[in-house]
Amino acid sequence: MCKEWNERISDIDICKHWKKERPTIEYQPLNLLLFTIQCLSTHIADLDLLISTYTPQICILTGVGSKIKNPPNIPFYNWICQVGTNSFGGVAIIVHNSLKTRTILQASNFILLELTVLSEVVLIGAIYVPPGSSIPFNLLETNVSKKIYIFGDYNAKHAQWMCNTNNTSGNELKSWLDEKDTN
């Protein structure tokens, strides 16, 4: 830049030079949106606003309800849906079509995707655990040794997570996380 300040170079030539030597982007952060939607049919406008405002590559929705059987079309995104065990259950992952993904596992209230980013494989999951239900640790255990991120509504409360009280799900999840020594 000092050279450009001290020499007689036209603005047009500087712009041409800068345009040719544009830095290459090695990576772009992955933008995720987690939304406990509490019934997709009543909050579809909110989802549309969030997607158009933040343009996430991945949207993880929990508590989608029965509307998940017929999800709305969102341009440039693909839906992976799983019904739940109650009327407020179910999960969905909306993936931008520029990403390379494949579904690894689907069960009631649970989806696990394999995402390839810069030749690295990461597992992204969505979970909804209805109040009073047990956390399906058997689904979490199957891939615990891999790079895995499970987002969702566990309905788990524990004082260590700034909750006023603990519940059974919170105690079980905290014990499981401590046992696995996860971060």
The predicted-structure confidence for 27-85, as pLDDT tens digits, reads as follows 678 899 999 998 888 899 999 999 999 999 999 999 999 778 889 999 999 999 999 99
Supply the pLDDT for residue 18: 62
- Inter-residue contact 44 to 72 (CB < 8 Å): yes
pLDDT for residue 153 is more than 50? yes
Supply the pLDDT for residue 38: 87
Q: Facing residues of 33 across strands? A: 59
Measured from the Cβ of residue 139, the count of other Cβ atoms closer than 10 Å reads 19
The predicted-structure confidence for 102-150, as pLDDT tens digits, reads as follows 999 999 999 999 999 888 899 999 999 999 999 999 999 888 888 899 9
Where in 37-145 does DSSP place strands (E)? 58-62, 77-82, 91-96, 100-107, 110-117, 120-128
For the chain, which domains are there?
28-155 (3.60.10.10)
pLDDT for residue 2 is more than 50? no
Instruction: Answer yes or no: pTM beyond 0.85.
Output: no
Q: How many CA atoms lie within 13 A of 48 on its CB side?
A: 10
Supply the pLDDT for residue 23: 55
pLDDT for residue 1 is more than 50? no
Instruction: List the one residue out of 45, 46, 85 whose CA is nearest residue 65.
Output: 85
Spatial separation of the C-alpha atoms in residues 19 and 123, rounded to whole Å: 37
- Inter-residue contact 124 to 149 (CB < 8 Å): yes
